[in-house]
Structure 1
């Protein structure tokens, strides 16, 4: 009798699933399919083919897929290869506290290339993937000018505090903040435009707004008082690097695929003004799918004319971890990070590190997140190419997530497990 097990049935969205099949005929071909429907009603699905061993077993932690949406041994391949039915759609969980993602896993006893109503699976399982652990609290923040959502771990604390930001799509994005709180951080998911009464467009970066958010987080009784961390991607990583450079209470920073200077929008902080490097519109490349690639649309920060736009990262109070996808289709992130590291080295600073992931793209998110090659961006009113390859990107998400948590726990206090 065929046994199909998927454990755990209820888990955090960044935890691995163990998928096993037994009771098959030796060397039998089976199809495994994953599917879900997101909050906007858009379906996602993936499938892969496996051949059982002599004992009639398939174990995704051990066995390689022979084809489908991925190949090779990828224990989380079914989740990482989930693709939307609607082109340019990105899976992004918005409501965290009361509803998980429900992922359906189906087992077919043959090659099942297409979904057909008359072909029924041999067995099916449904698992819940949550972005908050039991006991995590969410507090909507509307204090002074600051807008966001604060996630608090269960217990008295104090805990390390982290500000979490995303990039040029705007709005309030909370899923990474919920997961950070589930791993012992007080996380402030911070909006900075296109949300509530914040500006609809990001015309100028007012660093005092972000300083106000730092102060708000540090005042919370559950937050350790030594300083806070910041994690961000894309445009948010640009702002995070500016925060690390100019705000003394920011003592640990993770920049995911961001630039080393101010781009497009100027930055202002008290009496300081940094102009943004202009975008090169002729550097925008349109792929065959119609997605825009901005990789060459930012001016070279090494040019003499752009030196006043570069952030003096050597003034950062604490360590900086640069996480870079080697096939980032949106930014030349490797060059940006390497230039920042060179500058720090010239100034005698050794408190920065680069984690380079060859083959990974722009949107490096927590593990188990579907690989997103391209998606619609409301800021440019069109789809953007993020780049990367599935297997390499999935590895980058899994590995970097562990390193991010080690980095913050070590430098913000609690669980000192490794040095930068």
Structure 2
């Protein structure tokens, strides 16, 4: 019997190795605590993260750690010694996820019915070589949701308006927000559903390449966006008297135009967008704004093969800027200083200067050194470049991994604070 117990000891020791992720089921903007226990002291281990998108594209990250005297690794305290990042970064395995096949972007499409399932694997060595199949010592699955309990989604097809409305649980009324993305087209819902999970009623609005909308963006018809604003304000669960807009890239250019011309818009977040009319005309009632043309000869090609448009609009003069002084509400410009698609800081600074010249203090700019173009909710992987079908080649968005991750975390808090301050009625709580 004694011999039997001694023989079983190594197996029991092996079974004590654990990889613990808490919470293992949560919203994507919630941090996760990751710990490994039951390992030998002072041992180098590898922790890998793997996730597949809805098209089965694989994204992975890894980091190397040294266990402490108790044979443990705690990502909130233990510095990574190498891999995809170094130093103490509790959520590093999440925001450093990168595609195995170049130029893919990790973006959730079906937000209601399934989360991203991230598999964490622990190896008791430095596991660099993909060709060597080493079994993991422990694994943990983490579910990352873009929608919280009780949030409802309504498919919207009212007049010309096409999109999806996300409503928080409860009677309301809730502060209303329109969510706009850029030249990706179609209907992008992940940010709207996440904001709804924090108490906002958000309309993810499509404006081309979706259902019966134009396949290509030939012009920006601001009356379409006004119709969407009026629809939102007419909804019984939307708080009066005005709405917010959160917008990225080309959508941010449209969002700024909405702030300038539509009285319904009282709080606007513009993330890395032009402050001029670019590429296609802007129309509103009798107004037609001719777009500036990019100096494509200034386009650069990154070593990866992705094209960088950052310097193609730097020649713009102040006369090209949208009339931000007409905005009746507040505007928050969020810019990444390493944006390779657009010199977004230059654009935002010109708009801020114009506001000051007109004696207006309604604008604020948050500039993030090292951040790229696609500033998304916290812990989203940096997308440095992705394939652009219209170009027929990849487009460069830029960004330094650590600086970009910090920008996403900070700006997400600031966005919610901004909307709560400027959309909530006095006495309301959210």
TM-score for both structures, normalised by structure 2: 0.94
Separation of aligned partners in 2, 1:318 and 1:165:
18
* Residue in 1 that maps onto 2:359: 348
> Take 2:298 and 2:64, find their aligned partners in 1: how far apart are those partners?
41
> Bigger radius of gyration, 1 or 2?
2
Matching residue of 1:310: 321
Q: Tell me the CA shift for residue 80 of structure 1.
A: 0.6
Q: Distance in 1 between matches of 2:186 and 2:388?
A: 12
How many residue pairs are counted as aligned between the two chains? 414
* 1:396 is aligned to 2:407: yes
Alignment match, 2:333: 322
Residue 229 of structure 1: CA displacement?
0.3
State the partner residue of 1:211. 226
Q: Per-residue deviation at 1:133?
A: 0.5
Matches within 5 A, 1:6-405: 6-116=21-131, 118-298=133-313, 300-302=315-317, 307=319, 309-405=320-416
**Cα pair 1:169 1:379 within 8 Å, conserved:** no
On the 8 A contact 2:153/2:164 being kept in 1, the answer is yes
- Following superposition, the deviation at residue 111 of structure 1 comes to 0.3
Distance in 1 (alpha carbons) for counterparts of 2:304 and 2:142:
33
Partners of 1:159 and 1:414 within 8 A in 2: no
Q: CA deviation at 1:59?
A: 1.2
Counterpart for residue 4 of structure 2: none
Query: TM-score under structure 1 normalisation?
Result: 0.96
Indicate the larger mover: 20-29 or 275-284: 20-29
3-state secondary structure, aligned to 2:40? coil
Q: Is the 8 A contact 1:410 1:416 kept in 2?
A: no
C-alpha displacement of 1:53: 2.1
Q: Deviations over 1:194-241 (max 9, x none)?
A: 111111111111000000000011111111012000011110000000
Deviation at 1:2, TM superposition (A): 2.3
1:393 is paired with a residue whose SS is: helix
Determine if contact 1:409/1:415 at 8 Å carries over to the other structure.
no
Please give the alpha-carbon distance, in whole angstroms, between the structure 1 residues aligned to 2:286 and 2:142.
Answer: 53
CA contact (8 A) 2:321 2:350 kept: no
- CA distance in 2 between counterparts of 1:52 and 1:358 reads 33
- Give me the whole-angstrom Cα distance separating, in 2, the residues matched to 1:210 and 1:359: 32
Counterpart secondary structure, 1:225: coil
For the Cα contact (< 8 Å) 1:149–1:174, is it kept in 2? yes
Q: 2 CA distance for matches of 1:20 and 1:299?
A: 47
SS in 2 for 1:199: coil
- Report the 3-state secondary structure (helix = DSSP H, G, I; strand = E; otherwise coil) of the residue aligned with 2:402: helix
Deviations along 1:101-156, whole A, 9 cap, x unmatched? Answer: 11000011110113356311110000111110111111111111111111111110
Secondary structure in structure 1 of the residue aligned to 2:421 = helix
Structure 1, 34-43 or 405-414: larger mean CA deviation: 405-414
Distance of aligned partners of 1:416 and 1:320 in 2 relative to their CA distance in 1, 3 Å threshold: farther
Separation in 1 of the partners of 2:222 and 2:347?
Answer: 21
Deviation of 1:62 (Å): 1.7
* Structure 2 residues without counterparts, runs of 5 or longer: 1-15
Whole-Å separation in 2 of the counterparts to 1:414 and 1:180: 18
User: 1:159 aligns to what SS in structure 2?
Assistant: coil
C-alpha distance in 2 between matches for 1:214 and 1:139: 16
Q: Distance in 2 between matches of 1:352 and 1:191?
A: 26
The DSSP-based 3-state class of the residue aligned with 1:297 is helix
Summarize deviations over 1:224-273 as a string: whole Å, max 9, x none.
01200001111000000000001001000000001111111110101111
What secondary structure sits across from 1:110 in the alignment?
Answer: coil
From the superposition, tell whether residues 200 and 343 of structure 1 become closer, same or farther in structure 2 (CA, over 3 Å): same
Measure, in 1, the Cα distance between the counterparts of 2:132 and 2:420. Answer: 49
